[in-house]
Amino acid sequence: MQSRREVLTTASAMATGTALLNEAVAAEQNPAAQVADRSSTIRISRMRATWVGPTVYLKIETNHGIVGWGEIKGVDPRVSKPLVESLYVLIDGENPTRIEHLWQKIYRAHRDIRGGAFMVHTLAGIDMALWDIAGKLWNTPVYRLLGGPCRDRIRVYHTPQAVKVPPHGIYEHSGSPADIERMVAAIRAARQKVGPSGAVMFDAHSAVPPATLIQLASAIKAYDVLFIEEPAVPGNIEVFKRLKEQISIPLAAGERDRTIWEFIPYLQNRCLDILQPDCCHGGGITSMKKVATLAEAYHVPIAPHCTAGFLGIAASLHVAASVPFFLIHEFYPDNAGFNQKGLTRMAFTLDKEGYIGLPPGPGLGVEVDEKRLEEEAKRPQTYRWPGARLRDGSIADY
């Protein structure tokens, strides 16, 4: 016979055990309790940098067998290749899904070269590869990791519905009537080509002096072009303010500005109507998404600059797909000068209205022909600094 105390003690123990069991079962079935990072064991195990033409292609490998690809553009490959190989020591053995952490680790690694063009362009290639790994790890396109798509398709140029007119030359410090008429005629021809519902953009390319650009703007209607790109050389916000005060056409720039800190003055001084971040130039997907969010706060859309191969194109398109304030995207899939044919492939279809579908996945959605890449890398690689001069022999902006 058990005493009353023994009976109560036994009953209490049984109730406690049942409660613990029920709690364990409930936790097992409760999604909110399943917070362990299933990717916690993935680590970066190797990186290979391959120089072909104007591009350095990056392949980052992991202990899970998942690899990510990125590209470094807009910088001398003789510098970016050894630089990225040096930076690899900062990410070796790290979890590649800690993308923001690794971005900061690289960007802040050296107090005297943070923010420089060579560093940020090189960081962009690493960043793309990390996002590619993350998308492949979770079997989803990168834009879904960025919050999901904000649109069903992406407007691009050049197409029969949207063209960009170049400055047709490098100009002296003032323009002549012939200079103005040449640019006006090119804009007129482009408008006739796309019709009244199409888009015409004029790219001053920082090669048209401010005074000449003001003269040009007064010679065309304010609605003749969607925007004037690169109206001035970056670095002096007062020039941009002067142009905005005197030109009624929307102004766009940003391909030579890197990270949110270089874009802030344009927005604070209200001198650009459209921002043009370049994913390859500005620190990759991580940085470009931040620029787009910063611009959104000022109700300024982005029109990404992009003269890259499919890896850079795809990375930029994934950001464009995921942000609300977006206008149009630069797109050169068939330009051999930017996109070396056969090395990379991305599926896309251009519709009759000048839009392409969302970038494919998982990851960036780009295939790399590694065998051909290795073959091309064995050929002699050269690099020539571009440069430009005026007719009197002095150095020009372009």
- 3-state SS class at 215: helix
List phi, psi (to 5°) of 10. Answer: -65, -45
329 has catalytic annotation: no
Distance between CA atoms of 51 and 183, rounded to whole angstroms?
37
In one letter, which amino acid is 349?
A: T
75 Cβ partners below 8 Å, 6+ apart? 117, 118, 121, 122
List phi, psi (to 5°) of 130. Answer: -65, -40
Distance between CA atoms of 78 and 200, rounded to whole angstroms?
37
93: left (phi over 0), alpha (psi -120 to 50) or beta: left
Q: Which of 64, 158, 168, 205 is catalytic?
A: 205
Q: Which of 281, 305, 318, 329 is catalytic?
A: 305
Distance between CA atoms of 346 and 333, rounded to whole angstroms?
9
Distance between CA atoms of 271 and 254, rounded to whole angstroms?
12
- Cα–Cα distances in Å, from 285 out to 45, 155, 170, 307, 312? 22, 19, 32, 15, 10
As beta bridge partners, residue 66 has none
CB 231 within 8 A of CB 191: no
Of 287, 293, 277, 288, nearest to 103 by C-alpha is 287
Q: Which helix H or strand E contains 45, and what residues bound it?
A: strand 44-52
CB 128 within 8 A of CB 69: yes
CB 199 within 8 A of CB 235: no
Could you give the residue numbers annotated as active site?
Answer: 205, 305
